[in-house]
Every structure is written in structure tokens, then in C-alpha cells.
Amino acid sequence: MRLAQAPPTKSANAVYVTLAAQVVSLGALVVFEQVRGRHLAAEVAAVGGRPSGADADALAGAATAFAVLLLLVVTATVAAAIAYLTWLVRTRQSVAPSYARSTVVAAWFVPGVNLIAPAVLVYETWQAAGPPEEGRRGRVALVAGWWLSCLATLAVFTLVLPFDADGLTGLGVPELACLALTAALCAATVRRITALQRASSARIRTGSPAPVAPATHLDPAT
């Protein structure tokens, strides 16, 4: 296999940075929610949502801090999504220059299809990246773990949280833990695939033969 482009290392680094920013910003919002958010929600409700005079002065600072933290979370989430899709497209195109970007977009945004297609796409990308450093089971386990945690996090934030909100957002440690786990598994797949592409690219430049996966990693069924 001959790579058409260099591995997207910079795109991978952007994924790591934006995922970290997403987790940190959500963590800050969760801390604010636990320390001040519930009281702030009660205070706003007590004044009818339209404070004035001394009430306005007392609530303005906390409300501004909440708005800034919420904006940071949204910005980091959008940035992480863009960075990840950019990495995925460039990774696919590094092994197939004619690969259509629309395929990645469709896999992620077409309703119904996006329940399984992203995981399949990432697994196929891993397979195409180069000779495997581990057996099929290891790749399947990591991709499946990442995607199941991603779906669980999405369900928590879109289906559970809106109906179980307590305070300003209802966010707590469980929601932060779900996001942190998803981000960690996502970063792990990006790192493994990018490292494999770098190794394959280096072998092509030096003319070294591709390694063969150890027999102990083979699927017994094969």
C-alpha cells in the first residue's frame, strides 16, 4: 500500500486539543452549576426572571459567568466536531485521494445512518491505515467502546438531561464522566490510526517491508 499524502498529524493534534478543551470547559460549567447554579436558578425564579435594582446587581455577575461558561462549552464542542471530521476526511484521503468528503458528512449527519455508519467508517479507516499492530478484536473493541460511549453521552445530553434538569442546566459529575470517557476513547482511536499511518508512511519512504502481525493476535476463527 502506498500513501498518497502525508498522515494528518496536525489534524490529529487539533482533535486532542479541542477534545481537552471540551472536557475542561464542561468541567468548569459543572463546578459552577454545583457551587452557584442551583442557587442562581432559585434566585432568578424568585424575582420573576426580571430583576431590577439591587437584585439585578446581585445576579448580574453570576449570570454573566454562567453565560460565558456555556458559550465556552458550545464553542469547544463545535471546534471538536470540526477538528474530528477534518482529521477523518484527511485520513481517508491519505490512502484514497479521490475519497469524497460527502461520504463522511453523510455518515455522521444522515438520520438513521448515523447510528452505525460513523463506527464502520472509523473501523474501515483503521484497516486501510496500514498493517495492523494488533488483531481484529482489539480494533473492534476500541471502536465499539468509543461509539457506544458516544451514543450514551448523546442520549444523556439530549434525552435524559432536558427532562431531569435541576438548577440552570442539570449538569453534574455523571454527565462530565460520560463526556470525558467518550473524549478519551475518541482520542485513543485517533492516536492509534494516525500512528499507524505514520509508521506506514515511514516504511514507504525507507523501503522497509511491512511487519506481520504476531500469530498470538490472530482471531482463532481464522
Instruction: Kindly tell me if the per-residue pLDDT of 7 is higher than 80.
Output: no
Instruction: Kindly tell me if the per-residue pLDDT of 150 is higher than 90.
Output: yes
Q: Work out the average pLDDT over 41-63.
A: 62
Instruction: Kindly tell me if the per-residue pLDDT of 210 is higher than 60.
Output: no
- Cα angle 149, 104, 175 (rounded to 5 degrees) comes to 20
**What is the tens place of the pLDDT at every residue in 166-190?**
667 778 898 999 999 999 999 999 9
Instruction: Kindly tell me if the per-residue pLDDT of 53 is higher than 70.
Output: no
C-alpha cell at 4: 498518497
**What is the tens place of the pLDDT at every residue in 19-33?**
999 999 999 999 988
| Interatomic CA distance for residues 178 and 166, integer angstroms | 18
Per-residue pLDDT, 213: 43
Comparing 35-44, 94-103, 150-159, which segment has the lowest mean pLDDT?
35-44
Give the distance between the most distant pair of CA atoms in the chain: 76
Per-residue pLDDT, 132: 59
